[in-house]
C-alpha cells in the first residue's frame, strides 16, 4: 500500500476477517443509505427495466391477437428481455456507483481511510447483487400480473443462468472502472457502450446459428451467450444444459480475475501518481 500523503510504502498488517467484512459491509450500507435518501435514484433503478417489460408485453398482446403461433415466440422474447436486464443492471450497478465517487470527487477521501481496493470492489459486487435483484423483481411481477408470463415457468434452474449473467456484469463493470481511472470521467459513456456493444453477439433474441461465422466466433468467447442459449434450450426442448451453464461460469471466473487485475493495476498506477483526488475530465 502507498501513502497518499508521502507516496511511500506503508507496512501492512494482516487484518482479521471480521474487520475486512466490516469495511465491506460499511461500503454496502453507504450505498443503501444514499439510495434510500434519493427517490430519483430509486425510481431510475426500476424504471427502465419495468418500461422494457411493459413495451414487450404490449407487443406480445398485439402479436397474439394476430396469430396464436406468436404467443410462444414473443413470450420467449419477454424472458430474454428480463434476463438481458440482469446483465445491464449488474454492469451499471458497479460502474455508475464508481462514477458517483468520481462525480463527487470522493474517491481520494475513501482511500485515505484504511479501506483497500479489494474491499471496495467486493462491496460493489455485494451492492450489485442487491440492486440488480431489487430492479428485476418488479419486472418479473409485472410480466406475471399484467401479461400472464411467469419466467420461472421454464424452471428454477434458470437461476444458474441468472447468476452467470450477473457475474458478466461484474467483470464488465471492473473494465469500465479501469477505463475511468485511465481516461477520467470523460469515459463515463463506456458504462453503456460496453453493455450494448455485446447485444448483437450474445444472442439475446435469436440463436447463435443465425449470426455470420465471424460473429459466432466472438459470441462463444462471451459468457452471456451460453446463458441465453441455455435459456432457449429450456424453453424449446425442456432440457437444462448444465454444460452451457458451467462453460459460462468458467469464462466468467476467468474474465473476472483478469478484469479485477486490470482494475487493480489502473488503481495502483493512479494512486502512485497521486491522481485519486484529481480523476476528472
Instruction: Provide the 3-class DSSP secondary structure of residue 68.
Output: coil
Contact 115/24 with Cβ under 8 angstroms? no
Geometric angle at alpha carbon 134, from 131 and 141, rounded to 5°: 155
HSE of 240 in the Cβ direction (CA atoms, 13 Å)? 11
Q: What is the pLDDT of residue 4?
A: 47
Q: What is the pLDDT of residue 214?
A: 95
End-to-end Cα spacing for the chain: 26
In a domain, residue 220? The reply is yes
Assigned C-alpha cell, 125: 459486487
The angle, 0 to 180 degrees and rounded to 10, between the axes of the packed helices 223-237 and 242-272 is 160
In a domain, residue 11? The reply is no
In a domain, residue 230? The reply is yes
Assigned C-alpha cell, 25: 459491509
Q: What is the pLDDT of residue 208?
A: 94
Instruction: Write out pLDDT tens, residues 5-39.
Output: 445 454 445 555 566 788 888 889 988 998 888 88
Chain center to CA of 44: 16
Please state, in angstroms and rounded to a whole number, the distance separating the CA atoms of residues 136 and 155.
17
Instruction: Write out pLDDT tens, residues 174-207.
Output: 999 999 988 888 788 888 888 889 999 998 988 9
Per cent of the chain over pLDDT 90 is: 42
Contact 163/248 with Cβ under 8 angstroms? no
| Residue appearing with cell numbers 462491496 | 123
Assigned C-alpha cell, 4: 497518499
In a domain, residue 8? The reply is no
In a domain, residue 118? The reply is yes
Contact 85/134 with Cβ under 8 angstroms? no
Contact 46/35 with Cβ under 8 angstroms? no
Q: Which of 69-73, 211-215, 236-240, 247-251 has the lowest mean pLDDT?
A: 69-73
In a domain, residue 104? The reply is yes
Instruction: Write out pLDDT tens, residues 217-246.
Output: 999 999 999 999 999 898 888 899 999 999
- Predicted TM-score (pTM) of this structure: 0.86
Assigned C-alpha cell, 36: 434510500
Number of domains in the chain: 1
In a domain, residue 3? The reply is no
* Residue from 7, 35, 214, 65 nearest 130 by CA: 35
| Residue appearing with cell numbers 425510481 | 43
In a domain, residue 9? The reply is no
What are the Cα distances from residue 36, in Å, to 126, 144, 178?
17, 27, 28
Instruction: Write out pLDDT tens, residues 61-97.
Output: 777 776 555 555 556 788 888 999 999 999 999 998 9
CB proximity list for 33: less than 8 A, separation 6 or greater: none
> pLDDT class for 113, splitting at 50, 70, 90?
confident
Assigned C-alpha cell, 123: 462491496
Helices (H) and strands (E) in the chain, counts: 10, 0
Contact 98/167 with Cβ under 8 angstroms? no
Quote the domain boundaries for residue 99.
Answer: 17-272
Contact 180/102 with Cβ under 8 angstroms? yes
Amino acid at each position: 500500500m502507498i501513502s497518499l500523503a508521502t507516496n511511500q510504502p506503508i507496512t501492512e498488517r494482516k487484518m482479521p476477517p471480521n474487520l475486512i467484512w466490516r469495511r465491506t459491509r460499511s461500503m454496502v450500507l453507504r450505498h443503501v443509505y444514499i439510495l434510500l435518501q434519493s427517490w430519483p435514484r430509486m425510481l431510475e433503478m426500476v424504471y427502465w427495466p419495468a418500461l422494457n417489460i411493459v413495451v414487450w408485453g404490449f407487443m406480445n398482446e398485439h402479436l397474439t391477437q394476430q396469430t396464436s403461433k406468436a404467443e410462444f415466440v414473443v413470450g420467449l422474447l419477454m424472458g430474454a428481455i428480463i434476463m438481458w436486464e440482469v446483465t445491464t443492471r449488474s454492469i451499471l450497478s458497479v460502474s455508475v456507483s464508481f462514477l458517483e465517487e468520481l462525480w463527487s470527487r470522493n474517491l481520494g477521501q475513501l482511500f485515505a481511510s484504511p479501506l483497500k481496493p479489494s474491499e471496495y470492489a467486493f462491496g460493489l459486487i455485494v451492492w450489485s447483487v442487491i440492486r440488480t435483484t431489487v430492479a428485476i423483481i418488479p419486472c418479473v411481477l409485472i410480466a406475471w400480473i399484467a401479461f400472464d408470463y411467469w419466467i420461472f415457468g421454464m424452471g428454477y434452474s434458470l437461476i444458474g443462468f441468472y447468476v452467470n449473467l450477473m457475474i458478466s456484469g461484474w467483470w464488465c463493470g471492473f473494465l469500465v472502472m479501469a477505463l475511468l481511472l485511465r481516461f477520467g470521467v470523460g469515459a463515463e459513456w463506456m458504462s453503456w457502450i460496453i453493455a450494448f456493444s455485446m447485444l448483437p453477439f450474445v444472442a439475446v433474441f435469436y440463436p447463435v446459428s443465425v449470426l455470420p461465422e465471424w460473429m459466432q466466433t466472438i459470441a462463444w468467447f462471451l459468457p452471456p451467450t451460453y446463458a441465453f442459449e441455455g435459456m432457449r434450450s429450456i424453453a424449446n426442448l425442456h432440457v437444462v444444459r448444465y454444460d452451457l451453464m458451467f462453460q459460462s461460469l468458467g469464462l466468467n471466473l476467468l474474465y473476472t480475475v483478469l478484469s479485477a487485475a486490470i482494475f487493480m493495476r489502473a488503481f495502483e498506477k493512479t494512486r502512485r501518481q497521486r491522481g485519486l483526488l484529481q480523476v476528472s475530465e
